[in-house]
Amino acid sequence: MNFWDIHTLWFIIFMLFFPRLTMLFMGICFYPFAHPILFWFGWVLTPRLVIAIVATSVYWDTNPILCVLAWINALCIGSASTDVTKNYAENKRKNKHGIS
């Protein structure tokens, strides 16, 4: 199955910036190999990792470059966005309590 036969560039952009919403509205949870409980557990905790696993299992034969990019997104960009969010929350907490 070829990725580009089913999806467009917009799908990749939305998966990059809004992984949970895209997974929810595009029905990734309905792939035949995905157990619903495991899918929702991954959706809540690590959506980018779920995207990388689904991409690798479905599209590795036809689009390995997209699969590698999905793993880079899951491991590098996902952790970087988590760090930015933690720093923002910590700075906001410090400013709220008057700590400098």
pLDDT at 99: 60
Task: Give the span between the Cα atoms of 14 and 18, in whole angstroms.
Answer: 5
Q: Which of 10-19, 43-52, 61-70, 90-99 has the lowest mean pLDDT?
A: 90-99
Please give the Cα distance from 97 to 90 (Å, whole number).
11
pLDDT reported for residue 86: 72
Task: Determine the Cα angle at 24 with ends 22 and 26, to 5°.
Answer: 60
Domain ranges in the chain are 3-96
User: Is 47 in contact with 20 (CB distance < 8 Å)?
Assistant: yes
Closest CA to 73 of 2, 7, 14, 3: 14
| pTM for the predicted model, two decimal places | 0.63
